[in-house]
Amino acid sequence: MKVVTYLSDENKELERTKEENTGYIRMKKFKFIMLLFCVIFLTAGITTAAFALGDKKAVNVNNRPEFDKLYQAYDDIKANYYQNVKSQTLIDGAINGMVESLNDPFSDYMTKSEASQFHDTISSSFEGIGAEVQEKDGYIVVIAPIKGSPAEKAGLKPNDKILAVNGKNIQGMSANQAILLIRGKKGTKVTLTIQRAGAKDQSKLTITRDTIPVQTVYPEMLKNGVAKIQITTFSDGTYKELQKAIDQMKKKGMKSLIIDVRQNPGGLLDQAIKIANLFVPEGKTILQVEDRNGKIQKYVAEDGTKIKVPTVVLIDGGSASASEILAGALHESAGIPLVGVKSYGKGTVQTAIDFKDGSNLKYTVQKWLTPNGEWIHKKGIQPQYKVNLPDYANLPVIDANTTLKRSSVSSAVKAAEQMLKALGYHPGKVDGYFDAQTEEAVKAFQADEKLKVTGVLKGDTTNKLIAKVSELITKNDTQLKKAESVVKKEK
């Protein structure tokens, strides 16, 4: 049996392996990419050194009376069930039941076949739709889409519930099971049934899988020497990417800095610690970890290069895990303001065990705390300056494969009317009814975008409409504008 301590459920991560009967401990790197394209970033972990694993003592099950009922149930089912049942099926079910009883979305069990399929898909390519999900209250919920991914382009948002995949109901499935259905090869399509947070209506969204961008840092020089650097995830090379980005911005005259971790679902903690170390003064706490007995270990900033220009951090509901560790460290230990809306709230650490038969068990072992000792799990981090995006940034998704035309009535029509209105067109009453005014607004939009003028919303017209609204959100980024204002005051 192999025991693995997770730093993160994303990209390359360090693992501690303990081979039983030898006591041999070794360190290695391995890829564990869990997005909806093949990657899902659900765990913010801690460096392996924090979790030295003691020797595992063999359990003598013959002297464990608490297992008597389990053995009796197993024997009775094997002997009397009306169909033959494989022993492994019952064993997998028993372990899965124990994990489910924890009621922890970050603890999971994969059977040999599930683990094999999962790892085969992971190691093959960076392809899929590009979003992070988790199981929450029986639903598969989006934490964040990846920048530039098909999921982002299609309009998938944090807190969207995925109810079905290609018509298959996935309620009650684990995140791993859902991911195996959602991801796939580049060029193939997957249809998701989506319910937006706070909405009653459902909508279908067909997404074409693609290669997911591997770049994680995006620098941009704004006005008056204000540099904005977006970090989309904490991957193996993110720290080095950030160093290069900072050097680029310095050459362009950087006088102040905005770190944007909105929609960043987390990743490798060692990268978050290295980045935090650029801003947190030596000796100050970056984060703390606490075990089940209340024992706390602190991680403090070390000496080294420090970024001393005025800085602000942007966060939102898609900022999770390692993003929250970075935001908490910079705010509490370096006095850096946070702008945006409340972060996601992921404050636990997981360990995984790979069994000899190829199955895998992952479960929560610790929680992490901010420098001030706050546990932000399920609460998130509140920004110092709360700023919402415009209402049209949270509109329901529209499936480009659905035909919306004269006399159509649906929530998708209402969303289209709201989009058209936000772009300056006049669709008439925003009520979900595709009337003559809506048709004329669509025609005007098609003419302006040099599309075939039909008055029908489908395919290229729908995709272009979504793209233009996305551009409008970027142009009217109220959170970024507030961050620019705040960082100027910090000088």
Encoded tokens for 138: 């029986």
Among 304, 279, 263, 305, smallest CA distance to 371 is for: 279
Active site residue 490: no
Output the pTM of the full model: 0.76
Looking at residue 486, its pLDDT comes to 97
Measured CA distances, 298 to 6, 36, 268 (Å) = 18, 33, 18
Q: Using CB atoms within 10 A of its CB, is residue 291 exposed (0-12), middle (13-18) or buried (19+)?
A: middle
Predicted pLDDT of residue 214? 74
Report the C-alpha gap between 255 and 212 in whole angstroms.
33
**Catalytic pick among 346, 362, 414, 482:** 346
pLDDT single digits (tens) 129-150: 988 888 888 899 998 888 888 9
pLDDT in tens, 152-210: 888 898 889 999 999 999 998 888 788 889 988 899 999 999 998 877 888 899 999 99
CA distance 170 to 133: 13
Domain 394-475 has CATH 2.60.40.3120: no
pLDDT of the residue at 175: 83
Is residue 191 packed enough to be buried (19+ CB in 10 Å), middle (13-18) or exposed (0-12)? Answer: middle
Which of 149, 235, 319, 321 is flagged as catalytic? 321
Q: Is the CB of residue 191 less than 8 Å from the CB of residue 204?
A: yes
pLDDT value at residue 212: 79
Report the C-alpha gap between 257 and 252 in whole angstroms: 12
Distance between CA atoms of 426 and 442, rounded to whole angstroms? 9
pLDDT at 350: 80
Distance from C-alpha of 165 to C-alpha of 457, rounded to nearest angstrom:
24
Helix (H/G/I), strand (E/B), else coil: 388: coil
Domain spans, the chain:
125-211, 217-349+376-390, 394-475
pLDDT at 63: 75
For residue 133, the model assigns a pLDDT of: 86
The burial of 283, by beta-carbon neighbours within 10 Å (0-12 exposed, 13-18 middle, 19 or more buried), is given as exposed
CA distances from 49 to 32, 52, 270 (A): 19, 6, 11
* Residue-level pLDDT at 269: 81
Regions of the chain short of the pLDDT cut 70: 1-62, 117-126, 491
- What is the model's pLDDT at position 90? 95
Residue 143 has what pLDDT?
A: 85
- The two tokens of residue 333 are 């230990």
- What is the enclosing helix (H) or strand (E) of 297? strand 296-300
145 contact partners, CB below 8 Å, separation of at least 6: 130, 131, 132, 151, 152, 156, 157, 263, 318
Q: Which of 10, 127, 332, 484 is catalytic?
A: 332
* Residue-wise pLDDT tens digits, 380-433: 999 999 999 999 998 888 888 899 999 999 999 999 999 999 999 999 999 999
Q: Which fold has domain 125-211?
A: Pdz3 Domain (2.30.42)
321 belongs to the catalytic site: yes
How open is the CA angle 186-154-468, to the nearest 5 degrees? 130
CA 267 to chain centre: 9
Cα gap 98→482, rounded to integer Å: 47
Q: Report the pLDDT value the prediction gives residue 417, as an integer from 0 to 100.
A: 97
- In terms of residues, how long is the chain? 491
107 is catalytic: no
Distance CA 439, CA 406 (A): 6
* Cβ atoms 353, 3 nearer than 8 A: yes
Q: Which fold has domain 217-349+376-390?
A: 2-enoyl-CoA Hydratase; Chain A, domain 1 (3.90.226)
Mode of pairing for the β-strands spanning 203-208 and 210-211: unpaired
Whether the Cβ atoms of residue 129 and residue 209 lie closer than 8 Å to each other: yes
Nearest to 292 by CA among 380, 363, 212, 195: 363
CB neighbour list of residue 200: distance below 8 Å, 6 or more residues apart: none
Check residue 225 and give its pLDDT.
Answer: 96
CB distance 289 to 367 below 8 Å: yes
Task: Assess contact for 217 and 245: CB atoms under 8 A.
Answer: yes
Look at residue 17 in the predicted model and tell me its pLDDT: 31
